[in-house]
Chain A
Amino acid sequence: MNAIFKDDAAGRKVQVKWWSSRVAIYGALILWALICLFPIYWTLTTSFKLAPDVMRGNMIPFVDYTPKWKGWESLGLSPRLIGEVSTVREEFLKRFWNSAVVAISASTLAVMLGSLAAYGLSRFNYRFGFMRNSDISFFFLSQMILPPVVLALPFLVLYKSLDLLDSRIGLILLYTLMVLPIVIWIMRDQFQGIPVELEEAALVDGLGIWGAFLQIVLPIALPGMVAAFILSLVLCWNEYFFAALLTSTDAKTLPVMVASQTGSQGINWWSMAALSSAAILPLVIVAIFLEKYIIKGMAAGAVK
Chain B
Amino acid sequence: MNTEGDLLHTVTADDIPESRKLTGRAMVWVTASFFLGLVSIQFAHESGWTEAGFENWRPVLLAYLLWATALCAAQVIVNGEKGKRTLFVLPAALFVISLVVFPLLFALYISFTDWNLASLDGAQPNGWDNMRQMWRDAFYWNALKNMAYYVAAVSVEYVIAFGLALLLNAQIRARKFFRVVFLLPLMLSPVAVSWMVGKSMLEVRFGPVSRLVREMGFEPSFFGTPEMARFMIMAMDAWTFIPFMMIMLLAGLQALPREVIEASKVDGASGWQSFKEVIFPLMLPVSVTAIVIRIIFKLKLADIIINVTSGGPGGATDSVTSFIFREYRDRSNVGYGTLLAMVYLVLIIIFITALLKLVSRWMERPA
| Chain B residue contacts of A125, Cβ below 8 A | 3-6
Query: Which of A28, A39, A120, A241 touches B321 (beta carbons < 8 Å)?
Result: A241
Contact between A302 and B252, CB atoms less than 8 A apart = yes
Contact between B200 and A273, CB atoms less than 8 A apart = yes
Contact between A36 and B182, CB atoms less than 8 A apart = yes
Within 8 A of B (CB), among A1-44: 25-26, 28-29, 32-33, 35-40, 42-43
Name the residue among B95, B170, B201, B252 with the largest chain A CB count within 10 angstroms: B95
In the bound complex, CA of A174 to CA of B100 (Å):
10
A59 within 8 A of B: yes
| Chain A residue contacts of B320, Cβ below 8 A | 147, 149
| Chain A residue contacts of B89, Cβ below 8 A | 116-117, 120-121, 126, 136
Query: Which of A25, A42, A177, A294 touches B196 (beta carbons < 8 Å)?
Result: A42
16 further A-B contacts with Cβ under 8 Å, apart from A132-B3, A258-B191, are: A38-B208, A40-B184, A42-B200, A42-B201, A117-B88, A163-B55, A180-B96, A200-B8, A203-B8, A240-B191, A255-B191, A279-B189, A279-B192, A283-B189, A303-B252, A303-B286
| Chain A residue contacts of B296, Cβ below 8 A | 144-145
Say yes or no: A147-B92 contact (C-beta < 8 A), given A33-B178, A39-B196: no
Say yes or no: A255-B189 contact (C-beta < 8 A), given A262-B194, A302-B248: yes
B36 within 8 A of A: no
Name the residue among B176, B181, B334 with the largest chain A CB count within 10 angstroms: B181
| Distance to closest chain A CB from B299 (angstroms) | 6
Which A residues lie at the B interface, using CB under 8 A?
25-26, 28-29, 32-33, 35-40, 42-43, 46, 54-55, 57, 59, 113-114, 116-117, 119-126, 128, 132-134, 136, 139-140, 143-158, 161-164, 173-174, 176-177, 180, 184, 192, 196, 199-200, 203, 208-210, 213, 234, 237-238, 240-241, 244-245, 254-256, 258-259, 262, 267, 269, 272-273, 276, 279-280, 283-284, 286-288, 291, 294-295, 298-299, 301-304
- As a 0/1 sequence over residues 233 to 251 of chain B, the CB contacts with chain A under 8 angstroms (1 = contact) are 0000001000010011111
In the bound complex, CA of A7 to CA of B327 (Å):
73
Query: Which of B93, B95, B190, B344 touches A176 (beta carbons < 8 Å)?
Result: B95
In the bound complex, CA of A180 to CA of B146 (Å):
29
Query: Which of A46, A177, A288 touches B100 (beta carbons < 8 Å)?
Result: A177
Contact between A240 and B181, CB atoms less than 8 A apart = no
Contact between B8 and A199, CB atoms less than 8 A apart = yes
Measured CB to CB, the nearest residue on chain A to B248 is A302
| Chain B residue contacts of A46, Cβ below 8 A | 200
In the bound complex, CA of A299 to CA of B169 (Å):
14
B44 within 8 A of A: no
Contact between A177 and B95, CB atoms less than 8 A apart = yes
In the bound complex, CA of A288 to CA of B286 (Å):
26
Measured CB to CB, the nearest residue on chain B to A263 is B307
| Chain B residue contacts of A192, Cβ below 8 A | 1
Contact between B191 and A26, CB atoms less than 8 A apart = no
Query: Which of B172, B250, B345 touches A146 (beta carbons < 8 Å)?
Result: B345
| Distance to closest chain B CB from A31 (angstroms) | 10
In the bound complex, CA of A239 to CA of B182 (Å):
21
| Distance to closest chain A CB from B166 (angstroms) | 9
Which 3 A-B pairs rank lowest in CB-CB distance, beginning with the nearest?
A120-B88, A299-B251, A238-B189
| Chain B residue contacts of A213, Cβ below 8 A | 88
| Chain A residue contacts of B176, Cβ below 8 A | 291
Contact between A148 and B300, CB atoms less than 8 A apart = yes
In the bound complex, CA of A141 to CA of B188 (Å):
25
Contact between A162 and B57, CB atoms less than 8 A apart = yes
Say yes or no: A209-B8 contact (C-beta < 8 A), given A36-B184, A180-B96, A280-B189: yes
B22 within 8 A of A: no
In the bound complex, CA of A258 to CA of B325 (Å):
18
| Chain B residue contacts of A184, Cβ below 8 A | 92
| Chain B residue contacts of A298, Cβ below 8 A | 244, 247-248, 251
Say yes or no: A208-B84 contact (C-beta < 8 A), given A132-B3, A153-B328: yes
Say yes or no: A245-B197 contact (C-beta < 8 A), given A29-B167, A140-B92, A200-B8: no
| Distance to closest chain A CB from B133 (angstroms) | 17
Measured CB to CB, the nearest residue on chain A to B334 is A153
Contact between A37 and B184, CB atoms less than 8 A apart = yes
Say yes or no: A196-B7 contact (C-beta < 8 A), given A25-B167, A149-B302: yes
Query: Which of B110, B285, B286 touches A154 (beta carbons < 8 Å)?
Result: B110
Contact between A267 and B199, CB atoms less than 8 A apart = yes
In the bound complex, CA of A40 to CA of B180 (Å):
14
Within 8 A of A (CB), among B67-123: 81, 84-89, 91-93, 95-96, 99-100, 103-104, 106-107, 110
| Distance to closest chain A CB from B162 (angstroms) | 13
Measured CB to CB, the nearest residue on chain B to A203 is B10
| Distance to closest chain B CB from A210 (angstroms) | 6
